[in-house]
Amino acid sequence: MHVGLTTSWFASLLVLTCPGYCKGPDVAPNGLRVFAEVMKTQVGIIGAGPAGLVLAQLLAQQGVESVVLEDRSRTYVEARIRAGILEQSTVDVLTEAGVGDRVHREGLRHDGIHLQWPGHREHLDFSALCGRSVWAYGQTEVVKDLINARLAAGHPLHFEVSDVALHDVETNRPRITYTDRDGVAQTLECLVIAGCDGSHGPSRDLIPSTIRHTWERTYPFAWLGILADVPPSTDELIYAWHPDGFALHSMRSPTVSRLYLQVRPDEDITSWSDDRIWSQLAHRLDLDGWQLHTGPILEKSVLPMRSFVNTPMRHGNLFLAGDAAHIVPPTGAKGLNLAVSDVALLARALTDLVVKKDGARADAYSENALRRVWRATHFSWWMTSMLHTTGDDFDAQLQLSQLRYVATSRAAAASLAENYTGMPISDDGAGWSGSDPDHT
């Protein structure tokens, strides 16, 4: 159960005062100027993306207090168009966390995907191949559900903070300093800090270079993504190889479609009129007897594609999760799902650490999370390599051979299905071993 702010030691508010040399302009009723408000919490969470918000929700359920600090506004965070395919385990975590109602009501369950190359569209039936499914439900909706739940419960979530800095992460009393939206300097003392601050946040840099290792691959292409106010022209996603470049038909709801085109990394979006986008999509997704419905384009952007892994995911009392520790290219839709599986592991680890003073899961967190991270990193790289044209005809022939193999070999199709629907989340990183193939 959550312990209220007024009764908990951890959330007690200490107002420190100073005689006059401090920066903060506030003046307390006793006439002393306030230079900082030192708050205490059990887990300080930086970032209100899916990783930070799901972590906060899971911890609150276990009675662990946290404070979430986000540098953007609520409107910005809720409107940011990102991924849209949830693995079964992700839906399970959201359900367990008490925020699964809307995804079950409005999410579109998909039991497979279509793989396409010129003249062929082959359906992979995930239910038959591995007994698992995925859900089409936008990251924007996941984030809205989580923010609503947190604010409704009255738990602290601060938007539009700035100057976030981490201190003393190697000690038992790590701190976060920041400036709140009213311009007041704040200090948050924590037992642990969760760096859920995405690919550009400050947390990762706290790991000393002597310990830190990073791996990176930048791909020689990007995606031009559109959100369109038009019902999807397909029941399930179409991943299309085409000599002129990859195309993907995805969706957000029965009335909103999401589509992507492979483009150059330095593509100038202004050279892509709506007509040009729709005609390239129709060309690359073309199949006899099938028609692409077009409609108003609500948003368009170019997304770079890279793979990136940072290790370790823990340093002292700093734990990294989600894009702060790893990036995958979007092919295969793993980014959001990895963020959620990281924090499912992390929530258990931090609950044991903070409530039971048992550090075993926290000690194993980085290694366990990284097993899933590398599996998803390989899968995303593999899907990307199979589907994007490079301009090299040898590559093209290998890709077509691979696509035919996946479409005709049950073993190859099952491998794709198993990876696409996601590795089950287990504390020991056991992967698929022991998972129930009949589970739906």
| Identity of the residue, 108 or 406, whose beta carbon is nearer to ligand APR in the bound complex | 108
In terms of phi and psi (left: phi > 0; alpha: psi -120 to 50; beta: otherwise), the region of 342 is alpha
Tell me: does residue 82 bind ligand APR (CB under 6 A). yes
From 137, 178, 260, 420, the catalytic residue: 420
What CA–CA distance (Å, rounded) separates 282 from 273?
14
* CB contact at 8 A, 227 and 218: no
Using alpha carbons, select from 5, 44, 140 the residue that is nearest to residue 86: 140
Tell me: does residue 169 bind ligand APR (CB under 6 A). no
Which residues, in sequence order, are CB contacts of 349 under 8 Å at separation 6+?
319, 361, 362, 364, 365
369 binds, among ligand APR, ligand PHB, none (CB under 5 to 8 A by kind): none
- Smallest distance from ligand APR to CB 38, Å: 19
84 binds, among ligand APR, ligand PHB, none (CB under 5 to 8 A by kind): ligand PHB
Per-residue x/- mask for ligand APR, residues 321 to 340, rule CB under 6 A?
-xxx----------xx--x-
| Identity of the residue, 85 or 129, whose beta carbon is nearer to ligand PHB in the bound complex | 85
Beta-bridge mates of residue 85: 136
Taken in order 234, 237, 242, 247, the sign of the CA dihedral is positive
- Smallest distance from ligand APR to CB 166, Å: 10
Cis, bond preceding 312 (omega within 30 deg of 0) = yes
User: Within a 10 A sphere around the Cβ of 173, how many other Cβ atoms?
Assistant: 11
Per-residue x/- mask for ligand APR, residues 31 to 70, rule CB under 6 A?
---------------xxxxxxx----------------xx
Residues in the chain: 440
From 110, 315, 326, 388, the catalytic residue: 110
- Smallest distance from ligand PHB to CB 250, Å: 3
Tell me: does residue 198 bind ligand APR (CB under 6 A). yes
Residues that bind ligand APR (CB under 6 A): 46-52, 69-72, 77, 82-83, 139, 164, 196-198, 200-202, 322-324, 335-336, 339
